[in-house]
Structure 1
Amino acid sequence: MTAKPTIIDCDPGTDDAIALFLALSSPELDVRLVTVAGGNVGLDRTTANARAVVGLTGRAVPIVAGANRSLLADFRAETAVHGDDGIGGVVLPEGPPLAPGIAADAIREELRRAAPGSVTVIGLGPVTNLALAFATEPALLDRVAEIVLMSGAWTEGNITPAAEFNAWNDPEALAMLLNLGARVAIATLDLTAQAFVTPALIEAMARREGGACWRAALAIFRALPTSKRFGHRGFPLHDPCAIAWAIDPGLFGAKSAHCAMDLASGPSRGRTVIDRWERLKLPANVTLMETLDAGRFFAMLEDRVASLP
């Protein structure tokens, strides 16, 4: 098996932390660069969290800071879910220092070194860094095998009635990515709701022994609040779904669809208008993940993260 050269852009964030653990424990992915934006919390915290998570795995992956605001406005943090520190108050050892530079530049540099059609680019937060990288050097799209995003929803949002948090925080950047003509796969809220974590599941996973990374992951799970949207029965695990697609698309049912952004200033701003049934007669621009084999997903997550140091 040849590991996929991979760039991960994120805003850790509790679920981003779990996603990074999964990516860095998976032999299918050769993670060559982690770039960071603000989003779930401010850039000072998201970069500290990315450094801590990557450092705990023992992997020598460069981490580069990027945008602390969207293309047009400030990011809005979500401390009610992630805590003021972004990882629910879980204390991790300080990680390695940031690599020098700016995220968009680092993304372009990594792509320039890559073979055509070889790199999987994964976006787990507002996609400002990715939009800046590709808008300024669109020719580098020929180095990309696929862009995989956790973003959007085809039903209701989670930050407004219409919009999902990542899409809402920089809808212009997401619109740019969707209009590049790249191969894009997207895990929406409707998909990630199927990766549902209950207190019983956490306690079952806790019976598994593992190293410091696994203990940190369990602590993050226990720190996350249950979701009002789901009757406080548990919470959906968003960002690891995008990583799981990059590892094994066979875990998912998916279809082609057209996705457009609502960029208006009203209450629907940030909505991903996803045409699942070809009603608009527009060409598909995303592969839409629709179903998830949750049993296999959680078994993989547990096996991989528990194998880390």
Structure 2
Amino acid sequence: MKKYPLILDCDPGVDDVFAILLAHSTPEIDLKVICSVSGNAGIEKTTYNAQLIAGLLGAKTIIAEGASRPLIKEAPPIGTVHGTDGLGGYAKGFGEDRLAPISSMKALDVYRKILLESEEPVYIAAVGPLTNLAILFLAYPEVKSKIAAVSIMGGGIRRGNITPYSEYNFYKDPEAADIVMKSGVKLLLCGLDVTQKATLSEKEMKSLKESQNEFSDFSVKILSSYIAKDAAIHDPCAILALTNPEKFIYEDQYVEIDTREGITRGMSYVDNRKNQEKKPNCRVFYDMDLDFFRKSMLDALEHEASKKPDENKSPNDQ
């Protein structure tokens, strides 16, 4: 069985919850650390939410706080899809004792330490704005050789969601996305072209409601308000693209990011002009096996439900 030592960079966010769940429950994945970044909510809330989800899952990993703002410009206003707390209003429904511990080091230093000390290349799943990665590549370019691949939820070749042309994560920090796209690291891009197909049907929602365990109950609550505004559960696609690329349709292409002001700021686009010397810098995912996605989500939740009560304790409780 191939193993994936993984750093998960996220901005929880409802759909980030299911990326964390999937990374935690997949046997092939060795989840090293969860790094927070400002995105779906401010950095204090996304860090808290990462601690909460890791704690509820009993994930034996640390949380590292990342960038609190984009590289250059002030962040645009935070949307309402994930609620004011990032988790549909349910972030404070548990005691502080349920939180996983936070590292004394910031995300930049945790990244560097893990990558340089690892005996094998490390995978990164980045499902929020790419600020942490851009800072890492600027500060410590030597770590690039230790990265097996970066799987990104961001962008959209044929569509946007925050503007007609731009996806939310890339729009939040286009300069960071541009740096990552030009980094030379192996990149997998799960943009809106594929992630907007990542939905759960009434059948799966019914199964969740019938599970009657803590995490499933929590999942139903946070999904209820979220899917009324956005039916797609985007972020887990970046995990599945790493472990099960055969379940997707993709193309190797040259992707660029528009960093100019205006309606196209943050737009990701493919340069398809003939007679260009630009080699593909990214594997772009366009479609997937929807049944596989839905089964993966339910399997992850069932894995969590099947654990003994003491297995759900956070590292703080051990």
Choose the corresponding residue for 1:98, options 97, 102, 116: 102
Q: Which whole-Å CA distance do the structure 2 matches of 1:93 and 1:48 have between them? A: 12
Q: Any gaps of 5 or more consecutive residues in structure 1? A: 228-233
Q: Which whole-Å CA distance do the structure 1 matches of 2:47 and 2:275 have between them? A: 40
Post-superposition offset of 1:96? 2.3
Change (3 A) 1:210 1:21: farther
Change (3 A) 1:291 1:60: same
1:95-121 per-position Cα deviation (integer Å, ceiling 9, x unaligned): 1231111111111111011125x2111
Q: Which whole-Å CA distance do the structure 2 matches of 1:280 and 1:75 have between them? A: 37
Quote the residue 2:158 is aligned against. Answer: 155
Give the match's secondary structure for 1:98: coil
Change (3 A) 1:148 1:159: same
Change (3 A) 1:132 1:106: same
Post-superposition offset of 1:280? 6.9
1:230-270 per-position Cα deviation (integer Å, ceiling 9, x unaligned): xxxx6111101101112211221111011001111122111
Code of the aligned partner of 1:36: S
Quote the residue 1:230 is aligned against. Answer: none
Post-superposition offset of 1:196? 2.2
Quote the residue 1:69 is aligned against. Answer: 69
Quote the residue 2:176 is aligned against. Answer: 173
Choose the corresponding residue for 1:298, options 272, 281, 294: 294
Which aligned pairs between 1:76-225 and structure 2 lie closer than 5 A? 76-90=76-90, 91-94=93-96, 95-116=99-120, 118-198=121-201, 200-206=202-208, 209=211, 211-225=213-227
The TM-score, its normalising length taken from structure 2, stands at 0.89
Q: Is the 8 A contact 2:128 2:169 kept in 1?
A: yes
Q: Which whole-Å CA distance do the structure 2 matches of 1:25 and 1:69 have between them? A: 30
Which aligned pairs between 1:23-38 and structure 2 lie closer than 5 A? 23-38=23-38
The TM-score, its normalising length taken from structure 1, stands at 0.92
Q: Is the 8 A contact 1:64 1:106 kept in 2?
A: yes
Code of the aligned partner of 2:206: A
Give the match's secondary structure for 1:82: coil
Quote the residue 2:47 is aligned against. Answer: 47
Structure 1 vs Structure 2 CA RMSD? 1.7
Q: Which whole-Å CA distance do the structure 1 matches of 2:281 and 2:291 have between them? A: 29
1:114-169 per-position Cα deviation (integer Å, ceiling 9, x unaligned): 125x2111101001011111211111111111100000011221111221000011
1:14-69 per-position Cα deviation (integer Å, ceiling 9, x unaligned): 10111101111111110001110111011111011000000011112110101110
Q: Which whole-Å CA distance do the structure 2 matches of 1:297 and 1:9 have between them? A: 21
Quote the residue 1:244 is aligned against. Answer: 240
Percent pairwise identity: 30
Q: Is the 8 A contact 1:39 1:77 kept in 2?
A: no
Q: Which whole-Å CA distance do the structure 2 matches of 1:40 and 1:72 have between them? A: 18
